[in-house]
Amino acid sequence: MNGLLLAALLACALGMPLAAAEDGHGTILRIAEKAHGEIAAQLDGMGQVPPEMQELFERGTVELGSLREAAAAGDPEAAERHFHAAMDAFRRISYAAPAPEAGDPEADLDGSLERAAKYVDRLRRIAAAHGEEIDFGRLDGLVELAGRQIGEGDHEAARGSLAEINRLAADVKSRLDKDSQSRSSDRAVKFAQKHLDRLDAMIDDAEELGYPPEMIGMLRDARGVLEGSSDTREIIETINWLLSVRDQIEETRAEMISDRLDVLEERAGAIPADHPLAAEALAAAGAARLALDAGELAEAQSALRELATMLDSLEG
């Protein structure tokens, strides 16, 4: 690890402000990117990375992305905050990682290059599968360059190329992740739109069943979320809540239909057996009961209305 990077890690450990001491955001961004590449190469050389180290590395990668955004926005306080968070994660990995075992350095580099090349190919397949237009030319060139450097015995240069491959690959992964989140958000919005009509029917049912105004208001608020939100988590949580409310409304509605049907069945049973419409009334009551038992509430309610109309005409 070079002197500048070691000093940066030490400064991070001591909580020293770097943004003011260095020449602006560019320097701390370069330091963090260099650390990211070296830590990535270090983890890559381990073969199997412990979960806690992988989690630290992912956290550092996220903070590095936030550092880039803060630097681009000219926000020194945010840049320094994300820099220290990223470097803290990298420092903890560096301290926890075991020292490399002595062995053939060229063989180690060959293995690292092979894993890096496979990872680049995997990113390429993911990008192609989702129609992402990403230029892998720089990465492919670095993979080829690292191979030549290893073959020529220039191990230090090869390690630098591998670190750059890891850094660029992390950038590609970050972009693919963001695009994936965007696609997920689009799917959530479309999913929400499909529920709007159902929600309108739920509100009508809740009002008809005499639900309190507070619940009606909550349902209308939920409709506003589905209509205007693009937050995947918020949409999913809202829909899950609506599904639970829908079950309650359906249960209440089924109970009311059942109670109403009990009354109408008694009225139908009271019709004289020799009446021309007696059998028809009983059949209508039976159809309503079958629909209710099957959970077909709309059909049961429709049959119930027909039965009520028939009985009213008979008794009138």
| Per-residue tens of pLDDT for the chain, all 316 residues | 444 444 444 444 444 444 443 445 677 888 888 888 788 777 776 667 777 788 788 888 888 888 888 888 888 888 888 888 888 888 888 776 554 444 445 557 888 888 888 888 888 888 887 777 888 899 999 999 989 998 888 888 888 888 888 888 888 887 877 766 666 556 656 666 776 777 887 788 788 777 788 888 888 888 887 777 766 677 777 777 877 887 787 788 788 888 888 888 888 778 787 777 778 878 888 888 888 888 787 788 788 888 788 888 776 5
Distance (Å) of CA 173 to CA 33, 113, 119, 262: 15, 18, 10, 63
Q: How is residue 80 written in tokens?
A: 């320094």
Write b or e for each residue in 37-75: b if 16 or more Cβ atoms lie within 10 A of its Cβ, otherwise e. Answer: bbbbbbbbbeeebeeebeebbebbbbbbbbbbebbeeee
* 28 in Cβ contact with 22 (< 8 Å): yes
Q: What is the largest CA-CA distance in the chain?
A: 107
pLDDT at 3: 42
Q: How is residue 172 written in tokens?
A: 């590609």
Contacts 24+ apart (CB under 8 A), 276-284: 277/310, 277/314, 280/310, 281/307, 281/310, 281/311, 281/314, 284/310
Q: How many residues does the chain have?
A: 316
pLDDT at 232: 65
Q: How many CB atoms lie within 10 A of CB 129?
A: 8
Q: How far apart are alpha carbons 130 and 181 in whole angstroms?
A: 12
In a 10 Å sphere around its CB, with 0-12 CB exposed, 13-18 middle and 19+ buried, how is residue 185 labelled?
middle
pLDDT at 40: 79
* 297 in Cβ contact with 254 (< 8 Å): yes
